[in-house]
Amino acid sequence: MFDFGLEEEPSIDLTPLIDTIFMLLIFFIMTTTFSRPVLDILLPSSSEAEASGERREQVISIKADGTLHYDGRQIDRSELDAVLSERPEALLNLYVDQKAPFEAFVDVVDVAKVRKGGRFVISTESDESL
1 domain-assigned: no
98 domain-assigned: yes
129 domain-assigned: no
pLDDT at position 60 over 80? yes
Residue 112 CB neighbour total at 10 angstroms = 20
Structural domain of 108: 57-123
How many structural domains does the chain have?
A: 1
90 or 48: which leads in pLDDT: 90
CATH code (residue 107): 3.30.420.270
Residue 110 CB neighbour total at 10 angstroms = 11
Residue 39: band (very low, low, confident or very high) from pLDDT cuts 50, 70, 90 = low
Q: What is the pLDDT of residue 93?
A: 86
pTM: 0.53
Residue 116 CB neighbour total at 10 angstroms = 19
65 or 1: which leads in pLDDT: 65
Residue 89: band (very low, low, confident or very high) from pLDDT cuts 50, 70, 90 = confident
Residue 124 CB neighbour total at 10 angstroms = 10
118 or 80: which leads in pLDDT: 80
